[in-house]
Structures are given as C-alpha cells and as structure tokens.
Structure 1
Amino acid sequence: MKLLWMMDGEIFTTTLVPSGNMTPNYSMTLAQKTTFAFVILLFIFLGILIVRCFQILLNPYQSMLTSAWTDGLDGLEFDYAFA
C-alpha cells in the first residue's frame, strides 16, 4: 500500500507494508537496551517509593521507634509545671 502526500509542492510516497524481500529489523542496539533497562529500574524504584509513602501516610507511627516518643519530654514536663 502506497501513500502519496504533498509538502511544499513536492510529492512524497511511502509504503506501509515492506516489500517481500526486506525483513524488518526489530533488534535493539546496546544503547537502547541500556536505556530501556535504566528506565525499568527507575519505574521499579518509583513504585517502591510510592508504596513506602502510602505506608507512612496510613500509619505514621509504625516506623517511629518507641524511644523517640519520649525523647525531650523530660524538660517539657518540668516547663509545664510552672504554667
């Protein structure tokens, strides 16, 4: 199937189906493979970050150590005694 179109007064043709003696080349270069793998790793990292953020939003005290809840309260209890 051939398509014709005009651009700046010139006629261009293109074929949608390759001719019978040509086989399409679908192989990826090393740079394309490396980029593809890097993008996949970024998507995995983004997914992990999204899951972690939702865990913190749903239960913010789960990841906090219980010893951190009482840090610094000794001085505050004494200050509130005068109020």
Structure 2
Amino acid sequence: ITLPRPVSTMALPGTVLVGPALSLEQKAAFIFVFLLFVFLGLLIVRCFRILLDPYRIMPSSTWTDYMEKDTFDYRLA
C-alpha cells in the first residue's frame, strides 16, 4: 500500500499557483471599491486646491457684482 505524497505549500521555482477564481459579484465589488477610491482621490485633490488658492476657483463676477452693488447702495445712503 502506497500512501499519497503530502501536498507541499511551497511552490517550485517557475510554477504559478492559481487560487480560486473570483466570482462575478466579487469582481464587481472590487471594481466598485476601486472607483470609489478614485473618486475620493479626486475630491481630496480638489479640496486641497481650493484650500491653497480659494480665489482662483471662484469666478470674479460673483464678488465684483456684490462689491459694485454694495458701493452703489452706499452712495445712495
């Protein structure tokens, strides 16, 4: 009677160990998480750009119109 050889956990050089294949749900979850990380990274970059130079992001017409209205109202008073 010959006993089967025990399966070694170490791989021989040049061999590729193939794990269990991912299911469709797992692949979709990994893609979804990856896209969330990309979106989070873009939001972080945008927030740092706003913090470093807040007036570049804001259009000048929003605060110049307000200043002109404010000075005009001041002249009437």
TM-score tier, shorter chain, comes to 0.5 to 0.7
**1:70 is paired with a residue of what secondary structure?**
helix
Q: What amino acid sits opposite 1:43 in the alignment?
A: F
Shift of 1:64: 1.4
| More moved, 47-56 vs 72-81 | 72-81
Shift of 1:72: 2.3
**1:26 is paired with a residue of what secondary structure?**
coil
Q: Which runs of 5+ in 1 are unaligned?
A: 1-18
1:61 matched to 2:55: yes
Report runs of 4+ in structure 1 exceeding 3 Å deviation.
78-82
Q: Which runs of 5+ in 2 are unaligned?
A: 1-5, 8-16
By relative contact order (CA 8 Å, sep 6+), the higher-ranking structure is 1
Normalising by structure 1, we get a TM-score of: 0.62
More strand by share: 1
Shift of 1:60: 0.2
Identity among equivalent pairs (%): 50
Q: How many residues are aligned here? A: 63
Normalising by structure 2, we get a TM-score of: 0.66
More helix by share: 2
1:35 matched to 2:24: no
Q: Following the alignment from structure 2 to structure 1, what is the Cα–Cα distance between the partners of residues 36 and 18?
A: 30
Question: CA-to-partner distance for each residue in 1:54-83, whole Å, 9 max, x for gaps?
Answer: 00000001111122221222331133344x
